[in-house]
Amino acid sequence: MLLILKLPAFLLAVYVMYWSLPLANLLLFIKAWKVVGNRNDMYRWCQFLVRACGIKVRKCGKQELYRGGACLYLANHRSWADFFVDAYLTEGRGQLMSRAAVIFVFPVVILPLTLVRGCICFRRDGVKDKEKFNRWIDACIGASPVPGICLFPEGHRSRLPHSLPLKRGMLNYAYSRKMPVQIVISAHKELAMDEKSFHVRFGATCVTGYGPLMRTADYASFDEFYTALQGEWQKLWVEVFSADPAALPELVISAPAGFTYPLQLKLSQLLLTLLELALMAWGLAWSVRAWGGVAARLAGTLQLGVSGLQVLQYLPLVWLVVSLASCYDSTLPQPVLAADGTPLVGSSQATRDSKKAL
């Protein structure tokens, strides 16, 4: 019964995420027609989704986001919300790095992001020629207006109260290119959107902490760098997941930097936006007509008459409104871990899921 109540709100959230790029343009978060001046479309895209979901962020620690040149941002992977939440937390400064299979889940989002140099999609079946792969990453960074990369070094989504081992692939790349690295750990992202239980929570609060900038050039070997990185990752993980949101200040992002978009990229994005707007409008119109036809046949079969037909036609809207109301919850989450890193029983749904997984 609970799933029936909450499913429409979850599907709406997925729909908004699916069509987030044209919707962000319609609501003027992104201005694809702006061909003069700097832009930060990655940030504006994820800012739209964060606001649409009512997500709030509390900041843990005194470290700030690195806003210099090229940087490899490392974020933990909890749910679908990670893609736009972590792009928001890094202020659109890095291309999202994702496995190619995600294209088939969110093609209307990932394909345009890839074409406008906001996402790097790769096959997760092993890299046979590492140097060739590294040169390809070099080319992707060089062709993008944003200076860095944002990726999930755990490699998989996990609800465990502890981190998965960090994959070495892109860390090797950063070390070979002397690229600085910054860790960005966030707790409670799965409360905002939980695709495993088909649940969305509007008004959810996340806790985020930034690690110190790690300059790969300061380490004599990759193993030394990896060991230091793993230690910083674990330290920040415990700090963030043991933090009480009620005692933390809100994260404020005032004026994220703009970047120089080549004219060809701007024109490509404008054409893609117009195409997506047309597809979204067609899909919405088709859905309304299709439901109208289903409702008419159902009303005729059940002999409900005109008034019964009107009830059936508006039933999905009523269901959605009730679902949205039931899925709003701005209650601050409880810490997942104690200060020593041990799980706190019953602190959140994420912790309960973690206990089951363990």
- Looking at the predicted structure, is the pLDDT value of residue 322 above 70? yes
Question: What is the torsion angle, in degrees rounded to the nearest 10, for the CA atoms of residue 131, residue 137, residue 138 and residue 143?
Answer: 150
pLDDT band at 328 (very low <50, low <70, confident <90, very high): very high
Mind listing the pLDDT tens digit for each residue in 284-303?
Answer: 999 999 999 999 999 999 88
Mean pLDDT of the chain: 90
Mind listing the pLDDT tens digit for each residue in 304-313?
Answer: 888 889 999 9
Q: Indicate the angle between helix axes 2-18 and 305-326, nearest 10 degrees.
A: 80
Mind listing the pLDDT tens digit for each residue in 178-215?
Answer: 999 999 999 999 999 999 999 999 999 999 999 999 99
Q: Evaluate whether 71 touches 220 at the Cβ level (below 8 Å).
A: no
* Greatest Cα pair distance in the chain: 80
- As a whole number of Å, the end-to-end CA separation of the chain is 27
pTM: 0.91
Mean pLDDT, to the nearest integer, of 111-137?
83
pLDDT band at 347 (very low <50, low <70, confident <90, very high): low
Mind listing the pLDDT tens digit for each residue in 31-75?
Answer: 999 889 999 999 999 999 999 999 999 999 999 999 999 999 999
The Cα–Cα gap between 148 and 90 comes to 10
Mean pLDDT, to the nearest integer, of 221-232?
97
> How high is the pLDDT of residue 102?
81
> How high is the pLDDT of residue 54?
96
For residue 151, the SS3 value is strand
> How high is the pLDDT of residue 108?
73
- Looking at the predicted structure, is the pLDDT value of residue 357 above 60? no
- Looking at the predicted structure, is the pLDDT value of residue 349 above 50? no
Mean pLDDT, to the nearest integer, of 135-142?
93
pLDDT band at 345 (very low <50, low <70, confident <90, very high): low
Short-list 167, 170, 261, 178, CA closest to 219: 178
Which domains are present in the chain? 2-273+328-357 (3.40.1130)
> How high is the pLDDT of residue 116?
77
- Quote the percentage of the chain above a pLDDT of 90: 73
Mean pLDDT, to the nearest integer, of 331-347?
84
pLDDT band at 19 (very low <50, low <70, confident <90, very high): very high
- Quote the percentage of the chain above a pLDDT of 70: 95
- Provide CB contacts within 8 A for 337, sequence distance 6+: 161, 238, 241, 242, 343, 344
> How high is the pLDDT of residue 105?
77
pLDDT band at 353 (very low <50, low <70, confident <90, very high): very low
> How high is the pLDDT of residue 351?
43
Q: Evaluate whether 224 touches 214 at the Cβ level (below 8 Å).
A: no
